[in-house]
Structure 1
Amino acid sequence: MTINARANGGRPAHLDDVSKAIIEQLQRDGRRSYSDIGRAVGLSEAAVRQRVQRLQETGVMQIVAVTDPTQLGFARQAMIGVRVSGDTRAVADRLAELGEIDYVVLTAGSFDLLAEVVCEDDEQLIALLNDRIRSIEGVASTETFVYLRLHKQHYDWGTR
């Protein structure tokens, strides 16, 4: 599922304290039952189910399984900085279509875009860079930051 920051017309969603508490419960354990969450936040199972469905439908949150790519045979991960000549959004759209890319952001600074890639090996990374990314119209240059080891990856930062 692609996160679309404009799903709410570009405005941040307003969440009440109960919805925030539900999100935090799911961030700790995405498999937690609606009845357990309901007890923790003071709602019925049905009310929690409705709120979760609404949070998903509006794009505020998604519930996914997070895997360790190295355990699944994807030995090469990298962040690719992309400098663009022309429409940055068009290049971002093209990058987002590539299966090896799991994360694309428009940035300010040295790069116009950052794209995170997950590949089986260095040969797949080379092919992705040379044959597919650098051939996209508007890609002026790239710089690749190969991940040596994933040191921290958490999704439980809450709703602040």
Structure 2
Amino acid sequence: MTRKISEPDPTPAALDEVSKRIIEQLQEDGRRSYAAIGKAVGLSEAAVRQRVQRLLDSGMVQIVAVTDPMQVGFLRQAMIGVNVAGDAQQVADQLAEQPEIEYVVITAGSFDLLVEVVCRDDDHLLEIINQRIRSLESVTRTESFVYLKLRKQSYAWGTR
């Protein structure tokens, strides 16, 4: 599932403590039943179902399966710093269309963009860098940071 990130709402919705606890339950196990969540947070199954649906409808949360790239045949991951001449947002939009590019952010600092890629192998990584990123007219420079070992990946932020 690809999700295009929109501009942040300057006044983000406030979460009450019960909604935060519901989100924490789903972060621990996205398949946890509404009844089990209700028991943990002190609400009925129906009330949890309604709250989760509102969170989903608002776009504040999504429930997805997260794979381990190594175990499904993608042996190379990298973060690529990208410098551009001109409109960084336009280049970010072009890169976001690429299926192997998992993450695109516009940054301040040494790079205009940071791009995370998940590839089959080094040849695939080279193809993405040379043919999909550096070939864009506005791209002036890239620097690759190849992942050697993943020590932590967490999606538990947002409620604490």
Same topology, TM > 0.5: yes
TM-score, scaled relative to structure 2: 0.93
Unaligned runs of 5+ in 2: none
Q: Which residue of 2 aligns with 1:21?
A: 21
Q: What's the counterpart of residue 2 of structure 1? A: 3
Q: What's the offset of the Cα at 1:158?
A: 5.0
CA distances 1:95-132 after superposition (whole Å, capped 9, x unpaired): 11000011111111101110100000111111111111
Q: 1:43 to 1:153 in 2, by over 3 A?
A: same
- Number of the residue aligned with 1:57: 57
Q: CA deviation at 1:156?
A: 2.2
Secondary structure (helix, strand or coil) at the match of 2:83 reads: strand
**Distance in 1 between residues matched to 2:127 and 2:81, nearest whole Å:** 16
Give 1:136's aligned residue: 136
Q: 1:66: how far off?
A: 1.2
- Structure 1, unpaired ranges of 5+: none
Q: Distance in 2 between matches of 1:83 and 1:147?
A: 20
CA distance in 2, matches of 1:133, 1:86: 15
Q: Distance in 2 between matches of 1:56 and 1:109?
A: 34
Amino acid at match of 1:2: R
Aligned residue runs from structure 1 range 63-142, under 5 A: 63-142=63-142
Cα distance, 1:157 vs structure 2: 3.4
2:118 is equivalent to residue 147 of structure 1: no
Identical-residue share of aligned pairs (%):
67
* 1:56 maps to amino acid: L
Q: CA deviation at 1:6?
A: 2.6
Q: For 1:118 and 1:138, how far apart are their aligned partners in 2?
A: 23
- 2:46 and 2:139 map into 1 onto residues whose CA distance is 49
Return the alpha-carbon distance in structure 2 between the equivalents of residues 139 and 128 of structure 1: 13
Q: Which runs of 4+ in 1 moved over 6 A?
A: none
Residue pair 1:106, 1:112 contacting (<8 A) in 2 also: yes
3-state DSSP of counterpart to 2:12:
coil
Letter in 2 for 1:42: G
Q: Structure 2 CA distance, aligned partners of 1:71 and 1:124?
A: 17
RMSD between aligned residues: 1.4
The structure-2 alpha-carbon separation of the partners of 1:62 and 1:54, relative to structure 1 and needing over 3 Å to count, comes to same
Partner of 1:41: 41
Question: What TM-score, normalized by structure 1, do the two folds share?
Answer: 0.93
Pick closer, same or farther for the CA change 1:13–1:3 going to 2, 3 Å. farther
1:115 and 1:154 mapped to 2: Cα distance?
Answer: 18
